[in-house]
Amino acid sequence: MYQVPNYTQTVSMKLSEVLADIGIDERIILKTRRTWLLRESLWSINHQLLDENGMLTHIFGSQSEGTTTLEMQSDIDQLLYSKISTVIQDWSDWIPGVRNLLMIQDNSVSPGYCLLHCLRNDVPLSANDDTYQFVFKDRTGKLFLKNSLASFIFNACEIHGPANVDQGQPGYCDRDEVFALHCTTWPQQARQWLDQQDEGQWPSAEMKQYCSRSGCFVVGVGCRGSKHEQLEWRISTSLAERCLMFNLNITQIRCYVLMKMILKTYITPFFQDVISSYMCKTVVFHCIANTHSNIWRKNNFLPCLTQCLYLLYTNIINENCPHFIIPGNNLMRGKISPAVKPYILEILNNIINSKGLALLGIKCDSLGSRLHAKFNNLCPIKTSDFISGDLLFNLAAEISDTLINTFNLLKDSSPYEAVEKLKNYISKALYIQYEGLDKTANLLLLPWYCTSLGSVLASCNICQYNTVSADALKLISLGLYTDVASSKLKLASILYCVQKIQKADLVLSEIESRYDLKIVEPICSCHRFKKELFRQDFFQLCDNYNEEALQYTTASCVRFLQCEIHCVPTELRYEFCRSTEEDRMFRTEDDEWMDCAVVDSLSFLYFLQYKVYSHLGRHDQKQAALLKLIRTIKGEPNLGHRETALNILGKCMEQEGRAGDALQCYSMSLNVRRKNNAAKVHMSLLLSVLINART
């Protein structure tokens, strides 16, 4: 294969082009990393604002690295840890007032693992309370923390972060959530790696210096078969590994992605959980560290890939894949049985000797057919705009998730309590000194909190004085450009409720002018429903911008808390009473939004226009708004609250004197959502009116 340089260069360049077409290029990778790091910041900021035991989060793995594609369906690897506990490696690092755990890394512990010795939090001495169910006392009287605590804490603590997504739920990535403990210092077992430095080799001294400052995590899982399996905690250097991944060049990243595709195509379907993508990443790290950087070029892609596959082949023969940072930790220990080993070796050998032909059999992202098309000088469709659209849509959904979990804590609050809590969120967000992407994430959240605070204040004003104060309006104005419509619709609703009809009309006209039906995508995270195809123009616009495109391309649903009730039109207030006592029995923990009045932006826009035009006596415009509302309910595939849209359409029909059509709307609404639906109330009231009128 290496004797035919023209062949290998041609295949290498075509293969590089194909991977670029499916989103593995520098621009899309940087965009992907930025978006996922923003989502990571949103999670952590939300935890800090809500005082959740100092809970912080990181997103590791393929999603945040940008080393996945649309069809690889990589998991979201989320690591949560609390600042109220700290792991130390030396007695001098003991911190008063927190739970200190001393990391033990001696010969009795498996490489890559440690024991956690429990210390007192008032003086730097060993803990002596052995009544705690998650500690084990050894023969010397020392207490060690059991690793079963990690899963207990994770399942028991009430985390108000984004809702968990069930494994295998259609339309969503699986989420692998892990609770860990943080250690601010570099693990002793990995210190030799820091000291190994050859001139010009990868990783550089600067990268290793950064890695050493990142510390490590310990995760509650022991080495399989170890005599301390119930007490051992696995040492994780995920932050350091993310640094290494972020410093790979595009050919190195493509090698890793293609190795995962080969694994997914030729090995995993037959030998699941034997060779992992993490092993592939480790193999790529070792190859890069042991070769000159000049070989990692686009026109040398195929030989680089072959070298990585050959090292994986060698590791399987030896049944040893050493961890890149802690070499004593064999990632293949106990993974490869004698029965499957020869089959996996045969598969890899055939791929290595195929001179790239085996790649034509990869169906993931149509890589094989795309490569074939490249050799025939065809131009397959690029997917960068689809990836950009998916990234922006999910960032908008992440913001919505974060706000939902914040506002769920306010749904039972009195207006006064809600005002104080929102002020507290805003003050803390302004006080914490965020930098970089954390600052950007904070600026994405703050306007929403300001608008909500202004809306609660406005509700109090309307209740007491039937007007809205300047302070409330100023706060609302700070969040008018969070997205295309939702915050402005709150303002329009408030103006309508205080009979400022002309001003409400102006706001609604501005919203409609900005709401491009060919671009704007509805955003709803209240409940999980399968999204239909997105608008093509949405993808194209997202491809040219980052998070700043949110205000032009997305429209979140409009949510009113009970403490904002005086800002809500009468017809929509019934949504606060959607659940009977029987209905509540059918709710889940993800249904807390049902205690609020929530409606999709586009449906609410046309409903408010109908009401405003009715007050202004503009009959033709009123009927046009009604027709648009009907078309939206029938034609918009991604409405999150179609039943609510049908309910407010029914109220419009009642106003039109079309009782039969109103009843049909309520019946259709109940077909969408049988339980926890205000349509039951609307239907009962209308039937009562009709019966009384007839008698």
pLDDT in tens, 436-479: 888 999 999 999 999 999 999 999 999 999 999 999 999 999 99
Confidence of residue 680 (pLDDT cuts 50, 70, 90): very high
CATH topology of domain 385-694: 1.25.40
User: Cβ neighbours of residue 357 under 8 Å, at least 6 residues apart?
Assistant: none
- In percent, the amount of the chain with pLDDT more than 90 equals 69
Confidence of residue 529 (pLDDT cuts 50, 70, 90): confident
Is residue 171's pLDDT more than 60? no
Is residue 553's pLDDT more than 60? yes
Confidence of residue 172 (pLDDT cuts 50, 70, 90): low
Q: What is the average per-residue pLDDT within 487-503?
A: 97
Q: Characterize the bridge pairing of strands 216-219 and 233-236.
A: antiparallel
CATH class held by domain 50-246: alpha beta
Q: How far is CA 347 from CA 85, 304, 332, 571, 677, in A?
A: 46, 19, 18, 65, 56
According to the model, what pLDDT value does residue 392 have?
94
Which pair of structure tokens corresponds to residue 230? 């119930």
CB atoms within 10 A of CB 78: 23
Q: What size, in residues, is the chain?
A: 695
User: Cβ neighbours of residue 72 under 8 Å, at least 6 residues apart?
Assistant: 62, 260, 261, 264, 364, 365
Helix, strand, coil content of the chain in percent (nearest 5)? 55, 10, 35
How far is residue 304's CA from residue 297's CA, in Å, rounded to a whole number? Answer: 9
According to the model, what pLDDT value does residue 54 have?
64
How far is residue 22's CA from residue 9's CA, in Å, rounded to a whole number? Answer: 20
According to the model, what pLDDT value does residue 52 have?
59
Q: Mean pLDDT in the chain?
A: 90
Confidence of residue 131 (pLDDT cuts 50, 70, 90): low
According to the model, what pLDDT value does residue 200 have?
61
Least confident of 147-156, 180-189, 459-468, 613-622: 147-156
According to the model, what pLDDT value does residue 24 have?
95
Q: Select the more confidently predicted residue: 176 or 328.
A: 328
Q: What is the average per-residue pLDDT within 173-191?
A: 86
Q: What is the average per-residue pLDDT within 520-528?
A: 91
Q: What is the average per-residue pLDDT within 551-571?
A: 96
Confidence of residue 4 (pLDDT cuts 50, 70, 90): very low
Which phi and psi angles does 222 have, rounded to 5°? -95, 165
Q: What is the average per-residue pLDDT within 571-578?
A: 95
Is-contact 396 483, C-beta < 8 A?
Answer: yes
How far is residue 628's CA from residue 640's CA, in Å, rounded to a whole number? Answer: 17
List pLDDT tens digits, range 42-72.
988 888 887 656 678 899 989 999 999 989 8
pTM of the model: 0.90
Is residue 382's pLDDT more than 90? no
According to the model, what pLDDT value does residue 163 have?
32
CATH topology of domain 1-29+248-382: Poly(a)-polymerase, middle domain (1.10.1410)
Domain range summary for the chain, segments of one domain joined by +: 1-29+248-382, 50-246, 385-694
According to the model, what pLDDT value does residue 300 have?
95
